[in-house]
Amino acid sequence: MIGQNQRTIGREVTVEGIGVHSGERAVLTFRPAPPDTGIRFRRLDLEGAPEIPADAAHVLGADLGTTIGCGDVKVRTIEHVMAALAAGAVDNAYLDLTGPEAPIRDGSFADFFRAIRDAGSVEQDARARTIRVQQPVAVTVENGESYVAVPGKGLRISATIEFAHPVIGRQYGSFPVDPDSFARELAPARTFGFLVDAETLRSRGLARGTSLENTVVLDEKGVMQGELRFPDEFLRHKVGDILGDLALLGARLEAHVVAERPSHRGNIRLVRAIAEAGAGEPVLPIVDAQKIMQYLPHRYPMLLVDRIIEFEAGKRIVGIKNVTMNEPFFQGHYPGHPIMPGVLIIEAMAQVGGLLLMDSVENPEDKVVYFMSLDNVKWRRPVTPGDQIVFELEILQLRSHTCRMRGVGTVDGHVVAEAEMMARIVDR
């Protein structure tokens, strides 16, 4: 069990190798550091051993790896090291490096994580900094690349990758992040690349240290060497990369991060978005369950909205429904394989929309919202116990006390239902 205090490593430990892009020899030594130091790289091969804090503010590049730096001093490809530190809950360490790039080893996270575990850890007399995602944080990059971070206990990373190669195709997986799970499920996964790209990358000064010993290389037929460590090793490595880049928050993260076609560039954008969202005071619900009951006539078991987290009067609203195993409808709906009834998903969506409408009238306690029609209703994915549905509704048209709205419900960033609805406000 990882405590809430800061931790550093128990003793010095060294890992050596070559840089996958530079091809240069690298010696990396992990050293203990005092509380509130954070993770700091020190370039021992340069005069004065200049330091670079490993945080988002010092990211200089994200082209096939994450590069940090201060001025002309840089360290390339830090994500594998950072993932191992994050998985081991190491908050403070000096990383003394000889060379411009962290060693690639066998292309996985395993050697770094093993070294950190062998060194042990020491709890320090200072509280660990933790960022708890309080409301959804979404980032869209391009080419189908997107992210969302939602509230969660601990850290879980879910991701989907897609490559037009017969060995990869489209892969999805979801992984909790804790030391044991990381060691078993993610640490062994190696970086990968395509033979067809090799000459182009080397002409750009990249992949000069790549070999069949440190990279899973794919030609047009398949994997060029050996067996994969997992059928979805490519996906698992991408998830490990996400973890390494998230470590640049400089804090432990409690959230469920969902990524579609992730890249280092997108990872860094997510890091900055989470940091910005978590910079102020914790975000509290705009409307909690007690206040919801003042506006909606529904009561258990038909009150299906837990809280409202975003609100723009006359425009849009975002609400949350936490789906638990204790929901009464699970007793009779697909017993043994509980699935939330689709009509109740739409009912929950409508209740969120009803709250948006009630704000537009005087004396809402004397009014009630009746829904008149539903159009373009689609259910995309099943909703099961443990899911959190995020409903976002926007007003398409508002005339007097009649309104047309469009709603979308998502779980972990994936659309589970959508609909257009017409509603009218009437006296009770």
Radius of gyration of the chain (CA): 25
Cα dist. 421→314, 316, 324 in Å? 16, 14, 26
Domain edges within the chain: 5-277, 289-427
Q: How confident is the model at residue 288 (pLDDT cuts 50, 70, 90)?
A: low
Residue 412 to residue 174: CA distance in whole angstroms: 11
Given a contact cutoff of 8 angstroms between Cβ atoms, the answer to whether 91 and 5 are in contact is: no
Task: Cite the DSSP H helix spans in 247-320.
Answer: 264-277, 289-295
CB-neighbour burial class of residue 321 (10 A; exposed 0-12, middle 13-18, buried 19+):
buried
- Report helix, strand or coil for 118: helix
Residue 420 to residue 376: CA distance in whole angstroms: 6
Angle separating helix axes 79-87 and 233-246, nearest 10 degrees: 80
Residue 147's closest CA among 287, 22, 270, 296? Answer: 270
Residue 369's closest CA among 324, 309, 317, 310? Answer: 317
Q: Which of 242-256, 353-367, 402-416 has the lowest mean pLDDT?
A: 353-367
Cα dist. 260→134, 170, 227, 414 in Å? 21, 11, 26, 10
Residue 89 to residue 357: CA distance in whole angstroms: 46
- Report helix, strand or coil for 279: coil
Residue 304 confidence (pLDDT): 87
Tell whether the model's pLDDT for residue 356 goes beyond 60: yes
Given a contact cutoff of 8 angstroms between Cβ atoms, the answer to whether 234 and 161 are in contact is: yes
Give Cβ neighbours of residue 198 (< 8 Å, ≥ 6 apart).
207, 210
Told to judge if 414 belongs to the known catalytic residues of this protein, a careful annotator would answer no
Which is more confident, 306 or 249?
A: 249
Residue 257 to residue 238: CA distance in whole angstroms: 13
203-214 pLDDT, tens digit per residue, is 888 888 888 988
Residue 31 to residue 360: CA distance in whole angstroms: 60
Told to judge if 264 belongs to the known catalytic residues of this protein, a careful annotator would answer yes
374-415 pLDDT, tens digit per residue, is 999 999 999 988 888 989 988 888 877 788 899 999 987 788
Instruction: Provide the mean pLDDT of the chain.
Output: 87
Residue 320 confidence (pLDDT): 85
Owner of token pair 């059928």: 231
Most confident of 118-122, 133-137, 383-387, 392-396: 118-122
DSSP 134-169: -S-EEEE-STT-EEEEE--SSEEEEEEEEESSTTTE
Owner of token pair 């033979």: 195
Task: Cite the DSSP H helix spans in 328-397.
Answer: 342-358
Q: What region, left, alpha or beta, does residue 38 occupy, with left being phi > 0 and alpha being psi -120 to 50 degrees?
A: left
Q: Count the Cβ atoms, other than its own, within 10 Å of residue 93.
A: 26
CATH fold group of domain 5-277: lpxc deacetylase, domain 1 (3.30.1700)
Give Cβ neighbours of residue 89 (< 8 Å, ≥ 6 apart).
2, 7, 121, 128, 179, 252
Catalytic pick among 165, 298, 333, 401: 333
For domain 289-427, which architecture applies? Roll (3.10)
Given a contact cutoff of 8 angstroms between Cβ atoms, the answer to whether 400 and 332 are in contact is: no
The DSSP symbol for 90 reads -
Residue 292 confidence (pLDDT): 63
Residue 17 to residue 3: CA distance in whole angstroms: 33
51-53 and 130-132 beta bridge pairing: unpaired
Residue 71 to residue 345: CA distance in whole angstroms: 52
Return the bridge partners of 417, or none. Answer: 379, 409
Return the bridge partners of 76, or none. Answer: 101
Given a contact cutoff of 8 angstroms between Cβ atoms, the answer to whether 389 and 416 are in contact is: yes
Given a contact cutoff of 8 angstroms between Cβ atoms, the answer to whether 51 and 59 are in contact is: no
Q: Which of 168-177, 228-237, 406-415 has the lowest mean pLDDT?
A: 406-415
Q: In degrees, to the nearest 5, what angle opens at C-alpha 417 toward C-alphas 411 and 421?
A: 135
Return the bridge partners of 319, or none. Answer: 308, 391
Give Cβ neighbours of residue 110 (< 8 Å, ≥ 6 apart).
183, 187, 188
The DSSP symbol for 287 reads B
Model pTM above 0.95:
no
Give me the mean pLDDT over the 149-173 stretch.
Answer: 92
Residue 342 to residue 322: CA distance in whole angstroms: 15
